[in-house]
Amino acid sequence: MLFNLATSPRFRVMLATCCSAGCDRARHTDGAFRLRVLVVEDDPDLNRQLVAALSDAGYAVDKAMDGEEAYFLGETEPYDVIVLDIGLPKMDGISVLEQWRRADRKMHVIILTARDRWSDKVAGMDAGADDYVAKPFHMEELLARIRAQVRRATGHARAEIECGPLRLDTTTARVTLDGQPVKLTSHEYRLLAYLLHHTGRVVSRTELVEHLYDQDFDRDSNTIEVFVGRLRKKIPPHLIKTVRGLGYRLSPEKDEV
Chain residues in the site for Ca ion (CB under 5 A):
42, 85, 87
Residue 134 φ/ψ, nearest 5 degrees: -90, 140
Smallest distance, Å, CB 86 to Ca ion? 7
CA–CA distance, 97 with 105 (Å, rounded to integer): 9
- The residue among 113 and 223 lying less far from Ca ion, judged by its C-beta, is 113
Which contiguous run of DSSP H or E holds residue 222?
A: none
Smallest distance, Å, CB 114 to Ca ion? 9
Smallest distance, Å, CB 83 to Ca ion? 12
- The residue among 32 and 70 lying less far from Ca ion, judged by its C-beta, is 70
CA–CA distance, 98 with 96 (Å, rounded to integer): 6
DSSP 116: T
- The residue among 98 and 210 lying less far from Ca ion, judged by its C-beta, is 98
- The residue among 45 and 216 lying less far from Ca ion, judged by its C-beta, is 45
Smallest distance, Å, CB 88 to Ca ion? 6
Q: Is 94 left (phi over 0), alpha (psi -120 to 50) or beta?
A: alpha
Pairing relation of β-strands 60-64 and 36-40? Answer: parallel
Helix (H, G, I), strand (E, B) or coil at 60: strand
